[in-house]
Structures are given as C-alpha cells and as structure tokens.
Amino acid sequence: MHEYSIVASLIDRVQHEAALHGGSRVHRLHVKIGELSGVEVDLLKTAFDTFRERTICAGAELAIDTVAPAWACPSCDRSLALGAILRCDDCGRPARMVQGDEIILERIEMEAPDV
C-alpha cells in the first residue's frame, strides 16, 4: 500500500520544515489530494494515524482537501465533461488535465517560536 510511503515522505518533509523554522509540535497538516492522483484518501488517513506516533506529527490532524478532476483543450481552453472522450470536439486535440492529480503538502500549522 503506497499510502504508507507517501506518509513517510510527508512526515520527512514536515520534519525538515520544522528544523528550518525551529518548530516543535505540529498541530495540523493541510494536504491536497486529487481524485485522479492514485492516492486513496481513507488509506492515507489510516497510514498517517499509524505513522505519526513518535514523530514530530504525533497527535497532529491531517486535513485533506480533495480535488475533482477536470480536463480542457490545451489550445482552445474548452472544458470537457467527465467521462467523455478526451479529445476536443472543436479542434480535435488531446485534452490536458487541468486539475485532479495533486499530491501536495499545502501548509503546516506548528508551534514555531522562530517565525
């Protein structure tokens, strides 16, 4: 289950930011997960709850913002309906994903007297 390896990378990153800012306890993490990112939100939560103990994230909350997929034509910007053929009706070009594959750490809320 790759959600565990994503959580490991997440906690590493938080650790790094905490060191940079002289932070100690983390209260909350805000992440953005696209519905077409390949990451299951429920599994990510479970993995986080398991892994956070004895790390800087112990007791922290994981706030997940999910992002619905959207596709558009790269040349005329027309947006495509979900489930449609991924080709622009007007100009025939293959669609481009506008959003929906995010696996992003947005923000960390932590106790950091140095900021």
Nearer to Zn ion, 73 or 108 (CB): 73
Q: How far apart are CA 101 and CA 30, in angstroms?
A: 16
Contacts with 49 (C-beta within 8 Å, 6 or more apart), sequence order: none
Is residue 7 a contact residue for Zn ion (CB under 5 A)? no
Nearer to Zn ion, 22 or 94 (CB): 94
Is residue 73 a contact residue for Zn ion (CB under 5 A)? yes
Binding mask 34-73 for other proteins (x = CB under 8 A): --xxxx---------------------x---------x--
For residues 3-20, b (16+ Cβ closer than 10 Å) or e, as one string? beebbeebbeebeebbee
Strand-pair partners of 72? 79, 96
* Shortest separation between residue 54's beta carbon and other proteins, angstroms: 20
Is residue 112 a contact residue for other proteins (CB under 8 A)? yes
Q: Which entry of other proteins, Zn ion, none binds 91, CB below 5 to 8 A by partner kind?
A: Zn ion
* Shortest separation between residue 88's beta carbon and Zn ion, angstroms: 3
Q: How far apart are CA 27 and CA 33, in angstroms?
A: 19
